[in-house]
Structure 1
């Protein structure tokens, strides 16, 4: 549980360097289709900014609320254009009841559904998406970054924003991000290239976010809203989470790409533990789970995606039932 100030100083410095290099390349290239490679680099930088904001929100970086909130809003609102306060509230509810239908906002039905019952309730375009969601999953998560921004902005502008302490400030910071981003694109690039940069950047950013967060819980046991939940804290967190392991050559790169969240079980048990320490906690947690007979699920990245897609296919069967009933 010890703090890792050196780790986070290095991480902030590397991220700042990445953004500086990306901006320099963007300005130097100007009107060139090589800018689309810069958009790829920008997507990686945006994903790493979001992952660092995640650690800040969990107080892994700073012990107290105030510096966490200040830096979190700089990374979240200014850095990626999403409300830090809204996301913190949403993510806290996820941690309290992971994969619990009706309590975890990350398993609410929408373009994707997680149970046949949710699928039976879909209509119109959503019903079509839900029916083919396993096939459409990767194309859909290219919209994840845009949708998170939309949801956070909608919450700030409605009653949902009441949970955010400084709603006006958060709206102002998001506006600064959006205006600065759009102005930079259309002042430096011609309109067609500016739109192409925006599409590549935001689509890959969304794909990156989805690729990091989905393998950690999707395809794991889903607790129904009608079930009485009598699990203790350890079982509630461990049984609904999945670790993603890498081999000798891929473990460290995987840690960097996923911001340490490939050790999701340990993160859910100890949310304020610095991500750099999660790997060390893994042996202790896995050994204890084996001792008390609690399943500890860990698999490779490709297998994690297969398990996630299998759940989507099972859930989409609910739309088939609805179609048959309608006939």
Structure 2
């Protein structure tokens, strides 16, 4: 039984929503209680691992073997992102200010990624997962998620959409850089400075400190060529790892339309989410976010409790007549890729040749 702590923010409920009985069960088992000790230990170990990798880069010096250290650095960068994610969901600390500070440290300072930009985008996703008009994760971008979106594509974008399932994992190699670019654009944009000027300034300062420290580290330890290769490998593997954690969670699941406005919290989150089965290795690599149904139902639930809540949620869904989507890791990617391939199918169909009239 997890230790008692300050109560976490309450998930939304609605009159008659089948979610309320499940929420009572979860609370009765203290699964919403904070795990301050677990997070303190994990954050400390992660910080020590990052520090050890920095020292190893400096000690190894200007050699191609140093570039190999970009692999574990990408792994622990993803671990860092998990803690920033949890701080954004108020899972770690009892106060908003402390969670905000943890988000700034893990996002802006250690990753060079704006925590405010991420939280805004991610919270909108949680409120309306897979909703075409409200979830930024299924909006039209490099990839598209419905045939209606695909039909509007033209030029190079149309060619990309035709083969987006094949290009998905290669595109994830660019995600680490894309996150930093989006963060910088948000901080540098004029929107929001009047209301959140001080917060924006703090975010921008920490992003600048991260970029300067990262450049100094690689510039001191490596020559220009190896430094560029190190940075590219680090960011490519970071983006790939992070994308592989989030990709299986919702792609190919229900996409609420106009009727989705009437769905209760339970239905909205369960039907749009997919769990990934796994043991300790899968849980560690995916940060426990492979229990995505539980995470979406209880976003403030500490990550180590998600797997403990799984039996309760699965049983409740069966009793409520809701499908509980759960599959293995390989099949979760197969389902997501199959959906992306199907979306681009009409663009791959060749128009029928006009038959010549006989003379």
User: Does the pair score TM above 0.5?
Assistant: yes
Matching residue of 2:297:
269
Matching residue of 1:282:
310
Matching residue of 1:119:
150
Matching residue of 1:173:
206
Matching residue of 1:253:
281
Matching residue of 1:217:
250
Q: 2:262 aligns with which of 193, 212, 230?
A: 230
The answer to whether structure 1 residue 74 and structure 2 residue 105 are counterparts is yes
Q: CA RMSD in A?
A: 1.7
Shift in CA distance, 164/50, structure 1 to aligned 2, threshold 3 Å: farther
> 1:57–1:69: 8 Å Cα contact kept in structure 2?
yes
Matching residue of 2:116:
85
> 1:85–1:164: 8 Å Cα contact kept in structure 2?
no
CA deviation vs aligned residue, 1:173-213 (integer Å, no higher than 9, x gap): 11111121122212220111111101100000000110001
**Bigger mean CA offset, 180-189 vs 294-303:** 180-189
> 1:86–1:161: 8 Å Cα contact kept in structure 2?
no
Q: Output the CA distance in 2 between the equivalents of 1:261 and 1:228.
A: 24
> 2:58–2:220: 8 Å Cα contact kept in structure 1?
no
CA deviation vs aligned residue, 1:89-118 (integer Å, no higher than 9, x gap): 111100000011010001111111101111
Q: 1:241 aligns with which of 273, 281, 284?
A: 273
**Bigger mean CA offset, 154-163 vs 79-88:** 154-163
**Bigger mean CA offset, 93-102 vs 16-25:** 16-25
CA deviation vs aligned residue, 1:276-317 (integer Å, no higher than 9, x gap): 011110000000000010000000000000000011001112
- 1:1-327 alignment to 2 at 5 Å? 1-161=32-192, 166-224=199-257, 227=259, 229-246=261-278, 251-320=279-348, 324=351
Once the 2 structures are TM-superposed, how far is the Cα of residue 74 of structure 1 from its aligned partner? Answer: 0.8
- Unmatched tracts of structure 2, length 5 or more: 1-31, 355-359
> 1:144–1:207: 8 Å Cα contact kept in structure 2?
yes
Once the 2 structures are TM-superposed, how far is the Cα of residue 32 of structure 1 from its aligned partner? Answer: 1.1
SS at structure 1 position matched to 2:327: strand
Once the 2 structures are TM-superposed, how far is the Cα of residue 231 of structure 1 from its aligned partner? Answer: 0.9
> 1:116–1:319: 8 Å Cα contact kept in structure 2?
no
> 1:238–1:296: 8 Å Cα contact kept in structure 2?
yes
Q: Output the CA distance in 1 between the equivalents of 2:94 and 2:139.
A: 31
Once the 2 structures are TM-superposed, how far is the Cα of residue 153 of structure 1 from its aligned partner? Answer: 1.8
Calculate the TM-score normalised by the size of structure 2. 0.85
Matching residue of 2:12:
none
Calculate the TM-score normalised by the size of structure 1. 0.94
- Unmatched tracts of structure 1, length 5 or more: none
> 1:217–1:240: 8 Å Cα contact kept in structure 2?
yes
Once the 2 structures are TM-superposed, how far is the Cα of residue 215 of structure 1 from its aligned partner? Answer: 0.8
Q: Output the CA distance in 1 between the equivalents of 2:131 and 2:37.
A: 36
Once the 2 structures are TM-superposed, how far is the Cα of residue 227 of structure 1 from its aligned partner? Answer: 5.0
Once the 2 structures are TM-superposed, how far is the Cα of residue 272 of structure 1 from its aligned partner? Answer: 0.5
Q: Output the CA distance in 1 between the equivalents of 2:178 and 2:79.
A: 18
